[in-house]
Structure 1
């Protein structure tokens, strides 16, 4: 995966560069210190994913994300210190495929990069519920309580994974909770998306909330045999 880092603080860029540089499946292809430079970098280096800060000089990360996505270039993961609803929803509206806080665990960032590279989307657990509430209730429409016919096509294990995602668990946490491998979780997630007819992980979680499946994930399950 070709990854670029966009942040106005050189120390932050260096820290992320050191962390990502040891991963065998990640190739760091460039850095930028502001949004305008990020647009140029997206065009010249063609990264698969850009880790994008928000508050930067010349051009902020939200405007840069909108321009980069409008050009159909790199996917963008917003990585910020600021846990603000206006930033969150504007980032998603601009086309960001992920939104994480800089205090997240390194494993969470790596999972986000790999999830987005596989065509998915990933949000910080801290902001997931706010996105869901906006999606479900923002238009004044109540959440649906009746099961959707597509749910009947899910196996019990796929349903377990879906409800775990709706609880904000990462793939690694789901794997530990359900006593399966991360590869198995990824397979179940892909199957859920296909059977539910949704584009990515975020839409799957919204689906779970809309159809009364959120909050039903038991903490700790029996090992899969």
Structure 2
């Protein structure tokens, strides 16, 4: 059987003008992941990342750390099918319908860094409405069904190309991992997103595959961060 590691990117720059940049903490998390894989003696046969900068940089930093321990590393491939869903689009599309019930929501969205817990609560409400289809199909926003179809397309292409016994790392995002868990385990979208909010930056979920049969072995492993005994490295956004 082969091994597939779904890795969430390091902490990005939440609340900054460009979210898609790793924070200093995100860089440390990515280095810790690569060093942990080296300590495990994990040989990666293939590495894939989405096109988002935070995904690409997490992969590059982790692989550099792995290589620094004399581990051979494969070329990093890019597959946009593993990109995250459009969170800004979800907010832009679904926020107006939320305002009558949550009149302070606009202020929270504008000051998300200072109101993290309230932002998360409101964002979770909008994501729920998104995956339940509570928006029009012609508003330009990628639907949950289209998102999961895209993620599944990436997975099927990966499995088509995989060889028996390979170790494959996919550097992606929390929503993409949730969609893959939905696909692999059959859990509902609501259940998948309940897990999504628990996915730690640079944690990895381990799947086993044989041909196109895939099963979940480990979810949201954070050992590389926990062993450093630095609580600040455990981040969710």
The TM-score bracket by the shorter chain reads under 0.3
TM-score, normalised to structure 1's length?
0.25
Q: TM-score, normalised by structure 2?
A: 0.24
